[in-house]
Amino acid sequence: MFNKTAITLGALVIMALVLTKIVSNWMQNPYGLEPERLGPKGSETIPPVTALPNAKNYLLYPYYDDNAYVIHLALPNHYIHPSNTTERVLKSYGVSASMYYPGLNGKFHPENANLPNCNGYCAGYVRASIEPSRRSAHEKNRRILERIAHDRQQDSALYQFEDLDAEFGVDEHFQIRYPVIEAKSKGSMTSTQEYLISRDPSGDVQYLFECLPYTPSPACEVEFNLSTMPELVINIRFSRSLMTEWPKIVRAVNDKVASWKPVKIETVKE
């Protein structure tokens, strides 16, 4: 009897310690962020980076490049969960920031404390993903349109192209529907992809918006290079209802990220 009691108590103590450790880790990091998401490739060194106060400091590495450079981006604390603030310099391929238009203060800024919670992209909610890349947003957009043009020439029954009237001040507007998927989902058009294209004076694609117009939370996304540092590519996603404001949103997000003064750091191969 004594042995069984001792074993039971020992098991309970171990379980209590494990649960305490789990709860402690969760409280320190409720979103599961890793302290370091990657390390420099190969044997390379970078100059010491001074962490800025009141910010989460990231070293951003290009995903597809051989780390010819990194970018130090100090993301203000109110764009992340308060319990995740740190003065350490974290390494990652990219970083996301949640904000609200038009002020573009972070999701956890005191001014946003009373904003209504919602599922998906509603009100002024904007999600910005920031990552370094040698490939420009213009190049990516060009490749997307080349693929779409190729698919359109195939005249396949798997997808249906529909030209739409231009709106929101864009130059081209069309959508692609997938009849097979619609049939399987009993007529639902949630698989429909919508494209809105804005061209510059030379005729090149300046912005390509990809939208999901019939989902429960219709949203659009667009990608562009930071004006002050083209090595940084920004992808923003927001409610389709905000498309009437898209020029202001693009400009505001660009200016907000630029105000964080990202610093490019050349790596040194040994």
Kindly report each contact of residues 201-207 with a partner whose C-beta sits within 8 Å and lies 24 or more positions away, as own/partner: 204/138, 205/138, 205/141, 205/142, 205/145, 206/138, 207/141, 207/246, 207/250
- Over pLDDT 90: what percentage of the chain? 34
Q: What's the pLDDT at 83? A: 57
Average pLDDT, the chain: 82
Strand pairing partners for 173? 196
Q: Is 223 exposed, middle or buried (0-12, 13-18, 19+ CB in 10 A)?
A: buried
Nearest to 121 by CA among 29, 42, 222, 24: 222
Whether the CB-CB separation of 221 and 237 falls below 8 Å is answered with yes
Q: What's the pLDDT at 6? A: 67
More confident residue, 90 or 14: 90
Q: How confident is the model at residue 257 (pLDDT cuts 50, 70, 90)?
A: very high
More confident residue, 115 or 247: 247
The rounded distance, in Å, linking the Cα atoms of 38 and 49 is: 17
Does residue 180 have a pLDDT over 60?
Answer: yes
Q: What's the pLDDT at 31? A: 39
How many alpha carbons fall within 13 Å on the CB side of residue 149?
6
